[in-house]
Amino acid sequence: MGSLADLRVIDMATLFAGPSAAMMLGDFGADVIKIEHPRRGDPSRGHGASVDGVGLWWKTLGRNKRAAAVDLSRPQGQDIIRRLAAGSDVLIENFRPGTLERWGLDPQDLLKDNPRLIVARMTGFGQFGPMAKQPGFGTLAEAMSGFASMTGQPDGPPTLPPLALADGIAGLAMSYAIMVALHHRERTGQGQVIDMAIIEPILGLLGPQMTAFRALGVVPERTGNRSSSNAPRNTYRTRDGRWLAISTSAQPVAERVVTLVGRGDLVGQPWFASGSGRVAHVDELDEAVASWIAARDADEVIAAFEEAQAAIAPIYNVKDIAVDPQYAALGTFVDVADEELGEVTMQNVMFRLSDSPGEVRWPGRSLGHDTEQVLAELGLDAAAIAALREDGVIA
């Protein structure tokens, strides 16, 4: 049944950050009820690639969730949410601050009806402050966190990631925050409200940039594929045209790399003993590594690095990932039966637990697939459900 099978989660969020957090809870058994607009659905249904009009991103983001379509702007829809929240453990939402309150779903009122409820609020900029009510997306967080300013070639423009990076990080952080709040509830019996701004988790993962700025006035600059903390660290092209990445964060690994490429004499230099010292001589180190790799095919380079116990990896695209034996051994991808497409392949759960592993039980379902079931569990009979459907409150 999964470690979280005793939890009911209402996922009222859209797109990526909030729904990602709900997906992670569902992966370990939580009963996640996804609430979507009866006519528009979650926007992720229309993002990215599709097969016969069926969005593939949604198949992953909506997995392990029961799909219920309810119009939250209607009083009848708001009543459904209040009734659901009264019997649930977690409610996740990402509307602009004030929206829930305007709908009569103020978190404090929900907590009066259900003192054990965790209300997880995910917004671009948080619930207060000068930007709180502005529309916020992961792209803006990637810009405002300093990530984009640090990413790209030194002589190129700031670079945004080609994926929903800030949203994914915020989703992970929210799932963690929810588990912390649930643990607090176990000790005290009391639920609470979580206020998460998407601009903050990604900033927290960028290292001590504010610490260094306040202490030393350091402003990180773009270094391309190099690191400002250690060297050599870069991408290198082999004789047969493949790209490889190496890392020397650990001092013994740095020593093995330069010895392997014929520059063991550098190990005795005083500056070589620290990552910052090696960064000061990055051009010399990069030239030594790049020239050695460029004279050999990728398989030869990888074999030599592995024998020397030095860290190296090929730079993959998705075709490479699909046939990689390490991912296959880990079971990183899983084929799941799907009501619309027959079968879809997607990433498996993010980690393995020895006694209570997670599972992808089903992909994202069609809009409103489980509405009637969810409403019946609230005590609505067939006639009441039919009337709500006729009135456009549900789908």
Catalytically annotated residues: 167
Closest to 172 measured CA to CA, from 274, 359, 59, 19: 19
CB burial of residue 219 (10 Å; 0-12, 13-18, 19+): exposed
Closest to 8 measured CA to CA, from 71, 131, 98, 92: 92
Q: Are 16 and 95 in contact (CB under 8 A)?
A: no
State the Cα torsion 135-21-30-353 to the nearest 10°.
Answer: 180
Element (H, E) at 33: strand 31-36
C-alpha distances (whole Å) from 33 to each of 8, 232, 307, 366 are 8, 48, 50, 13
Q: Where are the alpha helices (DSSP H) in 189-339?
A: 199-204, 209-216, 251-260, 275-279, 282-294, 298-307, 318-323, 325-330
